[in-house]
Structure 1
Amino acid sequence: MSGLVNALLIVAVVVLVIVRQFRAQTISTDRRWWLVPVVLAVLALREPGMIDAHHRTSSVLLLAAELLIGLATGAGWAWTSRMWRESDGTVWSRSTKASVAVWVLGIALRAGLFGLGVLFGVHQDSSALLLALAGTLLVRSGILLWRAQSLPTAGAPAAAYGDAMPRPAWKERV
């Protein structure tokens, strides 16, 4: 696939995933939760230009950093998602405001890596970003599945980062 097609695929997947995550959705333990990340990884690994032949070491270091950021973003996203089990036993999940912060930080770090690559003259292909996105989705789905299996049978939502923070009191205006 060309770089433009990869870029469009990345944007489409990110938009689809982000929009879906801010609506409550069920977490199913019997689904093939790993299928979409594996397909994205295969598409990324099929491309030959992931590592710059003229700057091998720098390119590999940038790719490793990209993958680490992707994995950390997936873990942060999963741990900041709110989860709860309904009385019928279904598990639900929805991203929180902290999840937005995780995504913004992940995108900022990736932009910084891209800038660093440009500064060093390293050719960076969009397949590295696609591979990191696959890692993000794989880690997030795995952690959510693990959290879903460890939820109590019914009751209050599972804690998400920032839940224990005091909320400002609303003032009534006269």
Structure 2
Amino acid sequence: MTALSDVLIAVAVIVLVVGRQLRARRLDGERRLWLLLPLVLVAAGLRDTALLDPEHRATAAVLLAGSLLTTAGMGCAWAWTVRIWREADGVLWSRGGTATVFAWVGAVVIRIGWYGLGAALHVHQSGSVLLLSLGVLLLTRSVVLRWRAGQLDGGKRHTLAA
């Protein structure tokens, strides 16, 4: 894939996910799908043989690691912006709000900052880094949201949707 197709895929995923997060949704409604999309994105990102700039391999690795760590942090922050509640029938629900949108904007700004830092250091950054980062963001958010939902039931495990 080209960098343009990576960006278009990322934009489509973001629009889909944010749109879904801003509506109330059952947390137990979609079994195991919470893991599928993030893993597909991570695999798509890792498939790129030029993920690290061969001329600046060490710097590129540090940039990638730093960006993935901050992306995981943003996934945690995003998961905490989502309201989780149990209805009278026992079903768990979730819904993002204004803070969720700000968490997404923050994640995008941070991603742009990492690209800017890489450009300032003359490190080529593959478009696949965007897909990899998005996969890490979604996976982290889903894991933290599952954990939070489990806390409502005293630690019981739940299979949640992405």
TM-score (norm 2): 0.88
- Give matches, 1:48-127, under 5 Å: 48-127=49-128
Matched, 1:16 2:16: yes
Q: d(CA) in 2 for partners of 1:29 and 1:62?
A: 37
Contact 1:117/1:123, CA 8 A, preserved across alignment: yes
1:159 maps to none
> Percent of aligned pairs with the same residue?
46
Contact 2:6/2:130, CA 8 A, preserved across alignment: no
Deviation (angstroms), 1:29: 7.6
Contact 1:85/1:152, CA 8 A, preserved across alignment: no
Q: Relative to total residues, which structure has the larger helix share, 1 or 2?
A: 2
**CA displacement, residues 62-113 of structure 1 (integer Å, 9 cap, x when unaligned):** 1111101210111001011111111111111111222222222221111111
The structure with higher relative contact order (CA 8 Å, sep 6+) is 2
Gaps of 5+ in 1: 154-174
**CA displacement, residues 17-76 of structure 1 (integer Å, 9 cap, x when unaligned):** 111111111111871121111111111111111100001111111111110121011100
Q: d(CA) in 2 for partners of 1:105 and 1:117?
A: 18
After superposing on structure 2, the runs of 4+ consecutive aligned residues of structure 1 that deviate more than 3 Å are none
Deviation (angstroms), 1:152: 5.0
Deviation (angstroms), 1:150: 2.0
TM-score (norm 1): 0.82
1:138 maps to 139
Gaps of 5+ in 2: 155-162
Q: Which has the larger radius of gyration?
A: 1
Contact 2:71/2:136, CA 8 A, preserved across alignment: yes
